[in-house]
Amino acid sequence: MLTIEDYYVSLFPNYHPTRVLTLVYQPFAFGLTCFFAYYEATMNTRKRNLAGFALFFLSSFALILLDVGTKGHGGIPAYIGVCIISAFFGTSDALVQGGLVGDLSLMCPEFIQSFLSGLAASGVITSALRLITKAAFENSQNGLRNGAMLFFSVTCMFELACLLLYAFVFPKLPIVKYYRQKAASEGSKTVGSDLAAAGIKTDQDRQVEEDTQKHERLSTKELLMQNIDYALDIFLIYVLTLSIFPGFLSEDTGSHGLGTWYALVLITMYNVLDLIGRYIPLIKCLKLTNRKGLMVAILARFLFIPAFYFTAKYGDQGYMIFLTSFLGLTNGYLTVCVLAEAPNGYKGPEQNALGNVLVVCLLGGIFSGVVLDWMWLIGKGW
C-alpha cells in the first residue's frame, strides 16, 4: 500500500494517507502480536500462519474490489474503506510475522536471515513493480489508477502463492521436518499440527509426562530479562527507521527534478539497500555479534535525524538518495545481526518464545516510529 503512495496521495490529497494508513495498521499489528506472544506456548502455529496468509490475500483482493466499486473516486467513504483494509493487513502481519519468526527461530540462524532477506526482497520487488506499472501507464488515461490496479493484481497472486507454499510445500521439506521433530522432543507444543501435515505422528503428551524436568523451559519473562538488550536493540532500530521512512520521505523532502518519481525512487533505494544489508551478515567477518557493539551502532543511527532534516532543508536530491540508501543498509544489516544471534543457546520452545518476544519489540518500535513521524509536520500548518 505504501509503495503506491502516489496513487493514494492523488485520491486523498488532504488526509496524509502515507502516515494515516501506517498509523491505522500498527495498533492491530502490535496489539495482536503482544497477545499471540503471551499465548505462544500453546498456540497452533500452522493455523496461525495459514490464517495470516489467507487474510493477506483477501485484503489485497478487497482493495481491488473497493477501487472498482468506487470507480477510482476519492472521498471519505473510500478512505475509511482503505483504512479498514489497512487494519486487516495489520492483523495479518501479527499472525504471520511473529508466527514465522518464532517457527524459524527454533531451526537455525540461516533460516532467520533468509526470512528477513525475503521481507526486504518483497520491498524491492514491490518497488520495481510499482516503477514498471507507473512507467507503463504514465501517459495513458487513468494511468495512475490502472497501474495501481495491475500492481494489486500481481500482489494478490504473490499472496496466494505464499498461502499454497506454506500449506503444502514448506512442512514437507526434510530439514524443516527435522527441526520440528527436534523441537517436539524438547517439549514444544506449537509444532504438532505442522508435523501432522508432514505425515509425522508424535506422542508428545506422554513424552512430557515421562520426563517433565527435561521439558522445563524458561518463562517468557525470564527470556525477556536475559535478552533485554536485544529487545531494546530491535525496538530502537525500527523507532528510528519508521520515524523517517516512509512518511517523511513521501511528504517532506521538497520539490526536485524527479517530480512524482522522487518519492518512489527514494523508497526503491531504501528497499534495495535494505536487502543488501540483510545479506552482509552471511560474511562471518562482517557480522556484528558483540552485544555492546550492536547497541553502540544502533544508537549511532540516531544521527540520521539531524542529517535528514538539514538535507531536506538545504541539500539536493543526490544527498537525500544517498542518506536514504544508507538508512536502508543499516536497517537490514542490524536487524539480521540481532534476530539471528539472539536465539542461540536456547532449546526449541524457548527459541520460539524469544522469536515472538523480539517481534513484539520490533512492531513496538515500528508503532512508536510511526507516531513520532508526525513530529516532522510541526510548524507546517497541520
Identify the residue with better confidence: 169 or 8.
169
- Number of domains the chain is built from: 1
Are 133 and 3 in contact by the 8 Å Cβ rule? The answer is no
Highest mean pLDDT among 48-62, 232-246, 315-329: 48-62
Q: What is the DSSP string of 30-87?
A: HHHHHHHHHTGGGS-HHHHHHHHHHHHHHHHHHHHHHHHHHTT--SHHHHHHHHHHHH
Predicted confidence at residue 252, as pLDDT, reads 54
Domain annotation covers residue 157: yes
Are 89 and 54 in contact by the 8 Å Cβ rule? The answer is no
CB-based burial label for 69 (10 Å; 0-12, 13-18, 19+): exposed
DSSP state at residue 140: S
| Phi and psi, residue 188, nearest 5° | -70, 130
pLDDT classification of 267: cutoffs 50, 70, 90: confident
Predicted confidence at residue 149, as pLDDT, reads 86
**Neighbour count for residue 137 (Cβ, 10 Å):** 18
pLDDT exceeds 70 at position 240 = yes
Q: Which CATH number covers residue 195?
A: 1.20.1250.20
Domain annotation covers residue 212: no
| Phi and psi, residue 263, nearest 5° | -65, -40
Q: Per residue in 90-101, is it b (16+ CB within 10 Å) or e — as a string?
A: bbbbbbbbbbbb
Q: pTM of the entire structure?
A: 0.81
pLDDT classification of 212: cutoffs 50, 70, 90: low
Most distant CA pair in the chain, distance: 71
Are 362 and 368 in contact by the 8 Å Cβ rule? The answer is no
Tens digits of per-residue pLDDT, 8-27? 888 888 887 877 888 899 88
CB-based burial label for 27 (10 Å; 0-12, 13-18, 19+): middle
pLDDT classification of 378: cutoffs 50, 70, 90: low
How many CA atoms are closer than 13 Å to the CA of 74, on its beta-carbon side?
Answer: 10
Which CA distances in Å does 356 have to 106, 241, 281? 11, 21, 22
Helices (H) and strands (E) in the chain, counts: 17, 0
Domain annotation covers residue 214: no
User: Which of 16-25, 42-51, 227-236 has the least mean pLDDT?
Assistant: 16-25
DSSP state at residue 382: -
pLDDT exceeds 70 at position 235 = yes
pLDDT classification of 367: cutoffs 50, 70, 90: confident
Tens digits of per-residue pLDDT, 323-360? 999 999 999 999 999 999 999 888 888 888 999 999 99
Are 217 and 350 in contact by the 8 Å Cβ rule? The answer is yes
Domain annotation covers residue 271: yes
Q: Which range of residues forms the domain containing residue 302? A: 2-200+219-375
Specify the amino acid at residue 259.
G
Domain annotation covers residue 38: yes
Predicted confidence at residue 194, as pLDDT, reads 78
Query: How far is the C-alpha of 188 from the C-alpha of 208, rounded, in Å?
Result: 10
Domain annotation covers residue 211: no
Q: Which residues contact 268 (CB under 8 A, 6 or more apart)?
A: 124, 127, 128, 131
User: Which of 53-67, 179-193, 254-268, 317-331 has the least mean pLDDT?
Assistant: 254-268
Q: Which residues contact 89 (CB under 8 A, 6 or more apart)?
A: 1, 25, 56, 59
Mean pLDDT of the 150-158 span? 88
Predicted confidence at residue 295, as pLDDT, reads 97
N-term to C-term CA, the chain: 23
**Neighbour count for residue 288 (Cβ, 10 Å):** 17
Specify the amino acid at residue 139.
N
Domain annotation covers residue 213: no
pLDDT classification of 193: cutoffs 50, 70, 90: confident
Tens digits of per-residue pLDDT, 63-110? 999 999 988 887 899 999 999 999 999 999 999 988 899 889 888 878
Query: How large a percentage of the chain has pLDDT more than 70?
Result: 90
CB-based burial label for 206 (10 Å; 0-12, 13-18, 19+): exposed
Highest mean pLDDT among 26-40, 200-214, 288-302: 288-302
Four-residue CA torsion sign, 81, 83, 87, 90:
positive
Domain annotation covers residue 258: yes
pLDDT classification of 213: cutoffs 50, 70, 90: low
Average pLDDT, the chain: 86
Of the candidates 195, 204, 203, which has an alpha carbon nearest to the alpha carbon of residue 172?
195
**Neighbour count for residue 139 (Cβ, 10 Å):** 7
